[in-house]
Amino acid sequence: MLLSRRHLVPEEVDHELVGLSGSLSLLGLAAAWIAIGLPWPRCLFHDLTGFPCVTCGMTRSAIQFFHGHFLAALRWNPLVFTALCALSIFNAYAFVVLVMRAPRIRIAHLGLAEKNFARIAMIGLLALNWIYLLAHWRRF
């Protein structure tokens, strides 16, 4: 794996602009959903089995996170909490890079072993998160 810091070349995808625009759009959509009073999403797996699915607690974790109740967000769903922290860091980076027109950080030359490690790590994180949720299933 090779990290580089460089300016965008013509016709290159601006990942920072796409990511920041997408996350701000989704945040606005979620805020509108709550403001309008639309019903909460239901978990079919939980409704059928009584146990939490891999993503159960995601909505509650996000709401707690955006209210600044970080410990409560972590307790609802640790993986979502971690993802929201990473997304917040990326959004701050993207905002600074876009405003300052600074060079971008890019990952290049990702080898097969590194890709396989990332896949296995993601599956492992999902499994650990689900084990945590199943261990605390009475809260759901």
* Dihedral pair phi/psi, residue 73, rounded to 5°: -65, -40
2 domain residue, yes or no = no
The answer on pLDDT for 90 being more than 70 is: yes
| 5 within a domain of the structure (yes/no) | no
pTM above 0.85, yes or no: yes
- Report angle CA 128, 112, 105 to the nearest 5 degrees: 85
- Which range marks the domain in which residue 88 is found? 14-37+46-139
Question: Is residue 8 domain-resident?
Answer: no
* Other CB atoms within 10 A of residue 15 CB: 15
In a domain, 3, yes or no: no
Beta-carbon-side half-sphere exposure of residue 38 (alpha carbons within 13 Å)? 8
Residue 6 has pLDDT above 80, yes or no: yes
Number of structural domains (the chain) is 1
Q: How confident is the model at residue 50 (pLDDT cuts 50, 70, 90)?
A: confident
